[in-house]
Amino acid sequence: MEGLDQSVQDRIDLWLNGNYDHESKMAIQSLIDSKDIEALNDAFYKDLEFGTGGLRGIMGPGTNRVNQYTLGMATQGFANYLKSKYQGEEISVCIAHDSRNNHTLFANTCANVFSSNGITVYFFEGLRPTPELSFAVRQLKCKGGVMLTASHNPREYNGYKAYGEDGGQLVAPADKEVIHEVRLVKSIDEVNFDGDESKIIRIGKELDEQYLAELDKLSINPDIIKKQHDLKIVFSAIHGAGGVLVPTILKRYGFSNIIEVEAQASYDGDFPTVIYPNPEEEEAMSMALKLAEESQADLVMATDPDADRVGIGAKNNEGQYKLLNGNQTGCLLINYVLRAKHERNELKPHHFVVKTIVSSYLMDKIAASKGVDCYNTLTGFKHIGALMTKWEKDRVFLVGGEESYGYLVGDVVRDKDAVISAALIAEMTAYYKDKGWSLFDALIEMYKEYGFYKEKLVYLVKKGKSGAEEIKSMMEQFRTNPPRDLGGAEIVEIRDYLKKEGRHIKTGETYSIDLPVSNVLQFVTEDQSIVSVRPSGTEPKIKFYCSVNENLASKEDYASTESKLDCKLESMINDLMNR
């Protein structure tokens, strides 16, 4: 067909003539008949890449789409890896899904492929949060796990997260080994799609209870919750799995005044009330904020579809309900956990905190003030989970997080967890209310003590094959021709995580970065502002994480200091965008 590369045409012909279902073939033929070259190219120009985090993409027929065939091939490759690694051992996996469209088809496909390969499958009877999948892998002593979700992506997406036996997403070398096995599966004819029902075990409420019982133990100040049990909490699941367990854990902690956003309580993969099911977006939180205003709530919370991220809001000092960003919430949560444990003389030398390199460095300052080690990992919570597993016999993880609204308290799971985070955020709000403070009061006091840090994430969307090439070119330009200054401040240090090397500009001195290779650049200015640049691993975006800071002398200076930081952020962003 004119306008298509031969490789694309070959993939299309394979689908039209191969062992694929009639509906998929008709959908492809419809695109051919309408001469939709762009759609055909995007669906077939490559194989959907099984990356270090698994699969994520738009649903539909095609090699570059999420469907039962691309998921089946991925699962066959994962099964081959498990059988090779655990030869002679009993192998089991756990599968869960959120509310995304096609979840039944996709989850059944994965269960069938695993079971047909002789692997026992623990299969959740209904949708469940991602962190419970992590818990179940550990609790049931599985060798792996699969969570079917596209996290906070738009409704047309779905995905596949692969987990190791520690309950964390796969990291090196296992991630590369699984990728290798997946790439060896060249055809759907190599996939065992016919399931063995005798190997599939349904699980549900009993795992819920075990998981919730472990989360119960992580409450730090239950006595304060008793005093503030009527704290008014507005919660939205945004049509996702958060509705299964978040209200439950809040009630178990002792909160009695939980107001759910009923219009967003249905489990619906079309996410009918939002444009994006993402608590990072104000639009997705608008219904919860409106209900908070009507009810004069103390706290607003919403979770993403698979309930591993949580966004929050509260009333500011002008009486307006405002959302906190991921860095603000993460800093408040780390500050609360360390402060509360310090007050109870429960901090120990072997305790530690973990964050990612693109998250606020205020987190590092808070940990240092309490004598607690804070470690930085690459972007992606799997790296935090891997560090937890590495040290689980010698050290104790307390709390950690990343700027993209993912946090974890305690070591019950090995992934970000909106269920326990929601419970501890509510407890934190009760703790400050007991002192006569709002969350915004607590935020300002934290800035007064450690410095006013403000961050902003901006990104450029570059879709399709041409977009991927453009993002690659932009990263090369930043690497070979870096900016000399940003926001009026000279750059004094560049960290290149792809080369695993940092360099001081004035002296030329270099140093090694002791982290795995990653396509990330960081620019540090003379006033300790930091800009991190990286391509997204899950979306067609290039991301710019900008961070600035100033001292905050008093509560009265908050507005003027924030305005100054906003101006500096905008200046830095303009410099980045106008290169």
For helices 37-44 and 464-480, the axis angle rounded to 10 degrees is: 60
Q: Is 23 exposed, middle or buried (0-12, 13-18, 19+ CB in 10 A)?
A: exposed
Closest of 156, 189, 184, 153 to residue 281, by C-alpha = 153
The band of 207, judged by pLDDT with boundaries at 50, 70 and 90, is: very high
The answer to whether residues 128 and 157 touch, using CB atoms and an 8 Å cutoff, is no
Q: What is the 3-state secondary structure (H, E, C) of 33-91?
A: HCCCHHHHHHHHCCCCCCECCEEEEEECCCCCCECHHHHHHHHHHHHHHHHHHCCCCCC
> How confident is the model at residue 507, as a pLDDT?
95
Burial of 294 (0-12, 13-18, 19+ CB in 10 A): exposed
Which residue type sits at 1? M
* Contacts with 393 (C-beta within 8 Å, 6 or more apart), sequence order: none
Task: Give the Cα separation of 433 and 230 in Å (integer).
Answer: 11
Summary count for the chain: helices (H), strands (E) = 18, 23
Burial of 27 (0-12, 13-18, 19+ CB in 10 A): middle
Q: Quote the longest CA-to-CA distance of the chain.
A: 73
Helix axes 439-450, 362-369, angle to 10 degrees: 80
First to last CA, the chain: 39
Q: Please state the three-class secondary structure of 409-466 as a single string.
A: ECCCCCCCCHHHHHHHHHHHHHHHHHCCCCHHHHHHHHHHHHCEEEEEEEEEECCHHH
Sheet hosting strand 351-356, strand order edge to edge: 373-377, 351-356, 396-402, 406-409
| pLDDT band at residue 468 under the 50/70/90 scheme | confident
Enumerate domains of the chain plus CATH numbers: 46-203 (3.40.120.10), 211-450 (3.40.120.10), 452-577 (3.30.310)
Can you tell me the mean pLDDT for 363-376?
Answer: 97
Which pLDDT belongs to residue 536?
85
For residues 545 and 531, the answer to whether their CB atoms sit within 8 Å is yes
d(CA 475, CA 536): 12
| pLDDT range class, residue 466, cuts 50, 70, 90 | confident
At residue 301, does pLDDT exceed 90?
A: yes
| Residue for token pair 């949580």 | 310
Distance in angstroms (rounded) separating the CA atoms of residues 78 and 139: 21
Find out whether 497 and 378 touch, Cβ atoms under 8 Å: yes
Three-class DSSP category at 180: helix
CB-side neighbour CA atoms (13 Å) of 254: 16
pLDDT at position 578: 84
Mean of pLDDT over the chain: 95
d(CA 218, CA 398): 10
User: What global pTM score does this model have?
Assistant: 0.94
pLDDT at 267 > cutoff 90:
yes
CB-based contact 488:571 (threshold 8 Å): yes
- Return the structure tokens found at 41: 């190219």
Half-sphere exposure of 194 (CA within 13 A, CB side): 2
Q: pLDDT tier at 175 (50, 70, 90 boundaries)?
A: very high
Task: Indicate the DSSP class of residue 199.
Answer: G
How confident is the model at residue 1, as a pLDDT? 74
pLDDT for residue 579 is more than 80: no
* 151 annotated active-site: yes
* φ, ψ for residue 110, nearest 5 deg: -65, -45
What number of CA atoms fall less than 13 Å from residue 264's CA on the CB side? 33
| pLDDT at residue 465, rounded to an integer | 77
In Å, how far are 41, 192, 366 from 70, measured between CA atoms? 17, 13, 45
pLDDT of residue 239: 98
Amino acid at the residue 132: E
> Which residue out of 92, 115, 151, 518 is catalytically annotated?
151
Q: Name the amino acid, one letter, at 21.
A: D
- Average pLDDT on 398-404 reads 95
On the question of pLDDT at 480 being above 80, the answer is: yes
Alpha-carbon span 400 to 364, nearest angstrom? 11
User: Can you tell me which residue has the tokens 């962190």?
Assistant: 131
Encode pLDDT of 373-384 as tens digits. Answer: 999 999 989 999
